[in-house]
């Protein structure tokens, strides 16, 4: 952040005398003007948010400003470009304004999230949730959501009250896989009530709040807020396990979770080909970087047995065990490729509930028992800690919930 222009930064003096009589604006004057440029999503000035990377004033009155965005494809880039140019061109001595963009580093995004609000959940949030388990992978499509939905159903069926929280804000699939989808209601304490899927699994997803199949275009800080709200403002009640379905890859969500839930544990899903293990390890490395505990590996799509009983290793073999050995964590289970597993996920009835004795169900139930064995039953995720002093209220657009 040190390179960011700060209010009060010393003005850079032009090296040569200017030809024109009009004095050049100072960096402070420009910074003051930039205070009027408001990020429409975060509702704060780009100066306050630390998004002004640099300001350069040329001798001929040209001003070059670099604004740091939270993501490269920021949908409101044009807004910043126009607003910055307009504000700065109002200053005397400015002949033209050039606006460039770059992207905040992970550390800078972390600082921005802290500027935006509490970085930890308040005391009492999730107090009745004993374990939070993030289901993660390095790459997409390996079965995280399928595992989350089925593991939650399996845990619940084995007498361990469980919830599933969809943290995949852009590619949510938990509503479909658990067969629930309507706008949640709010209780008398203004907490959002999770929906209940078959078997008593409590479910929350951004998919419940948006028009069907519409895309969610949010940037890191909004994502942080949505997940924070799902953890803080949802009446999860007493749960032994809250499973978090993570989006593919590493990044913003892992960082958010590490700040909000330092006690969360990671289950890494991988396919069996040895090459996939390197990718999955990246997710594990991210968890380790943020000091989150790794619980174990689930190998999914691990072989296929034909109706004649022949076993085929379509995605190779051994990748899960290799990863588990490398990370020195247990293999929680090997779940075979199974058409019924996919079909039931598509129909909103998890296989473990619909066909509890099928081979894939048995493998998932074994993984669920592995999770139970590896997690303490006594401790709540968040001990009662004092709320941070003068925590600013979370700003931004609240989720559009139905009032109960």
Tokens of 28: 């402070």
- Coil, strand or helix: which one is 296? strand
Of Mg ion, ligand ATP, none, which one does residue 141 interact with (CB within 5 to 8 Å by kind)?
ligand ATP
Q: How many residues does the chain have?
A: 404
Mutual orientation of helices 252-260 and 274-289 as an angle, nearest 10°? 40
Of ligand ATP, Mg ion, none, which one does residue 256 interact with (CB within 5 to 8 Å by kind)?
none
- Hey, how many other C-beta atoms are within 10 angstroms of the C-beta on 99? 17
If one asks whether residue 258 binds ligand ATP (CB under 6 A), the answer comes out as: no
Question: Between residues 110 and 175, which has the closer beta carbon with respect to ligand ATP?
Answer: 175
If one asks whether residue 142 binds ligand ATP (CB under 6 A), the answer comes out as: yes
Task: Count the residues of the shown chain that bind ligand ATP, applying the rule CB under 6 A.
Answer: 21
Task: List, in sequence order, every residue forming a beta bridge with 239; answer none if it has no partner.
Answer: 129
What is the gyration radius of the CA atoms in the chain, in angstroms? 25
User: Least Å distance between CB 338 and ligand ATP?
Assistant: 4
Nearest by Cα to 397 from 37, 42, 38: 42
Binding-site member from 100, 124, 140, 398 for ligand ATP (CB under 6 A): 140
In angstroms, the first-to-last Cα distance of the chain is 44
d(CA 274, CA 218): 34
If one asks whether residue 337 binds ligand ATP (CB under 6 A), the answer comes out as: yes
If one asks whether residue 148 binds Mg ion (CB under 5 A), the answer comes out as: no
Question: Among the residues of 63-105, which ranges form H helices?
Answer: 77-89
Question: Between residues 173 and 254, which has the closer beta carbon with respect to ligand ATP?
Answer: 173
Binding-site member from 27, 137, 145, 349 for Mg ion (CB under 5 A): 145
Question: Between residues 143 and 296, which has the closer beta carbon with respect to ligand ATP?
Answer: 143
Question: Between residues 113 and 148, which has the closer beta carbon with respect to Mg ion?
Answer: 148
Nearest by Cα to 1 from 78, 80, 92, 112: 112
- Hey, how many other C-beta atoms are within 10 angstroms of the C-beta on 58? 14
- Coil, strand or helix: which one is 295? strand
Contact track, ligand ATP, 213-252, x by CB under 6 A: -----------------------------------x----
Question: Between residues 115 and 313, which has the closer beta carbon with respect to ligand ATP?
Answer: 313
d(CA 379, CA 182): 32
Tokens of 64: 């070059």
Question: Between residues 146 and 254, which has the closer beta carbon with respect to ligand ATP?
Answer: 146
Of ligand ATP, Mg ion, none, which one does residue 301 interact with (CB within 5 to 8 Å by kind)?
ligand ATP
Q: How far is CA 182 from the centre of its chain?
A: 22
Binders of ligand ATP among residues 293 to 332 (CB under 6 A) are 300-301
Question: Between residues 80 and 172, which has the closer beta carbon with respect to Mg ion?
Answer: 172
User: Least Å distance between CB 300 and Mg ion?
Assistant: 12
Q: Provide the binding-site residues for ligand ATP, judged by CB under 6 A.
A: 137, 140-146, 168, 171, 173, 248, 300-301, 335, 337-338, 341-342, 345, 360
């Amino acid at each position: 952040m040190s390179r960011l222009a700060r209010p009060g930064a010393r003005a850079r003096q032009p090296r040569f005398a200017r030809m024109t009589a009009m004095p050049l604006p100072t960096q402070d004057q420009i910074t003051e003007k930039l205070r009027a440029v408001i990020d429409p999503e975060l509702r704060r000035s780009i100066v306050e948010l630390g998004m002004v990377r640099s300001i350069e004033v040329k001798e001929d009155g040209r001003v070059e400003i670099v604004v740091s965005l939270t993501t490269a494809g920021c949908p409101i880039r044009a807004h910043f470009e126009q607003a910055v140019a307009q504000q700065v061109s109002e200053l005397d001595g400015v002949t033209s304004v050039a606006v460039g963009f770059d992207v905040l580093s992970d550390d800078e995004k972390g600082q921005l999230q802290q500027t935006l609000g509490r970085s930890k959940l308040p005391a009492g949030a999730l107090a009745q949730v004993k374990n939070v388990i993030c289901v993660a992978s390095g790459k997409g499509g390996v079965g995280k959501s399928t595992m989350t939905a089925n593991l939650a159903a399996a845990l619940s069926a084995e007498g361990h009250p469980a919830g599933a929280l969809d943290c995949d804000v852009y590619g949510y699939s938990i509503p479909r896989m658990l067969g629930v989808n309507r706008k949640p209601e709010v209780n008398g304490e203004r907490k959002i009530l999770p929906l209940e899927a078959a078997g008593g699994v409590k479910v929350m997803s951004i998919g419940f709040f948006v028009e069907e199949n519409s895309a969610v275009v949010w940037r890191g800080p909004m994502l942080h807020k949505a997940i924070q709200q799902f953890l803080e403002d949802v009446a999860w009640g007493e749960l032994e396990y809250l499973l978090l379905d993570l989006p593919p890859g590493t990044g913003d969500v892992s960082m958010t979770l590490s700040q909000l839930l330092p006690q969360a544990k990671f289950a890494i899903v991988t396919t069996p080909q040895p090459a996939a293990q390197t990718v999955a390890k990246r997710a594990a490395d991210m968890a380790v970087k943020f000091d989150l505990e790794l619980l174990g590996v689930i190998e999914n799509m691990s072989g296929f047995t034909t109706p004649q009983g022949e076993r085929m290793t379509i995605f190779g073999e051994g990748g899960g065990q290799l990863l588990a050995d490398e990370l020195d964590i247990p293999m929680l289970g090997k779940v075979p490729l199974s058409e019924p597993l996919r079909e039931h996920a598509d129909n909103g009835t998890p296989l473990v509930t619909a066909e509890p004795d099928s081979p894939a169900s048995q493998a998932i139930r074994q993984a669920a028992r592995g999770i139970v064995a590896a997690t303490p039953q006594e401790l709540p995720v968040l001990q009662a800690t004092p709320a941070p002093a003068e925590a600013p209220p979370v700003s931004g657009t609240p989720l559009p919930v139905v009032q109960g």
